[in-house]
Amino acid sequence: MNLLGFLTRRGSAPVARERLQILLAHERAAFGRSDLVTVLRKEILAVIAKHMAIDGEKVKVTMDRGGDVSTLEIDIELPTTPATPALATA
C-alpha cells in the first residue's frame, strides 16, 4: 500500500455506521408498515387493473432510501395490444 493510500484509509466501519443510520431512520418512521412496498404494489396494481388488463408479474415497485430524499420507482410493462378496460365495458 502506498503512503497516500495508507493516510486516506478509513476502513469499512464508517460506511456501515452511515448505512445503518439512514436505514434505521426510515424503518423507525415506517414502524408497523415494514410491508409498505408490498402494500403499494398491490394497491397500484388494483387501480391500473380497473382500466386495462396487465400482467401482475410485470409490475416492479422499488424503493431507494437516501439520506435526504427517497425515491419510489414504479415500472409497469403495458401489453402491446391494449386489452378492453374492465370498467369501460361495465
Partner 1 sequence: MAKVLVVTSGKGGVGKTTTTAALGAALAQQGQSVCVVDFDVGLRNLDLVMGAERRVVYDLINVVQGDAKLPQALIRDKRLDGLSLLPASQTRDKDALTDAGVARVMDELRDKFDWVICDSPAGIERGATLAMRHADVAVVVCNPEVSSVRDSDRIIGLLDAKTARAEKGEAMEKHLILTRYEPGRAERGEMLRIDDVLEILSIPLLAVVPESEEVLKASNVGSPVTLNNPASAPARAYADAVRRLKGETVAMVIPTERRSLMSKLFQRRAA
Closer residue to partner 1 (CB): 16 or 74: 16
Closer residue to partner 1 (CB): 24 or 39: 24
For 28-58, give one letter per residue: b (16+ CB within 10 A) or e.
eeeeeeeeeeeeebeeebeebeeebebeeee
CA angle 29, 33, 38 (to 5 degrees): 130
Q: Which residues bind partner 1 (CB under 8 A)?
A: 9-14, 16-17, 19-21, 23-24, 27-28, 31
Closer residue to partner 1 (CB): 2 or 8: 8
Task: Give the shortest CB-88-to-partner 1 separation in angstroms.
Answer: 45
Q: HSE of 19 in the Cβ direction (CA atoms, 13 Å)?
A: 6
Task: Give the shortest CB-20-to-partner 1 separation in angstroms.
Answer: 5
Helix/strand/coil for 52: coil
Task: Give the shortest CB-13-to-partner 1 separation in angstroms.
Answer: 5
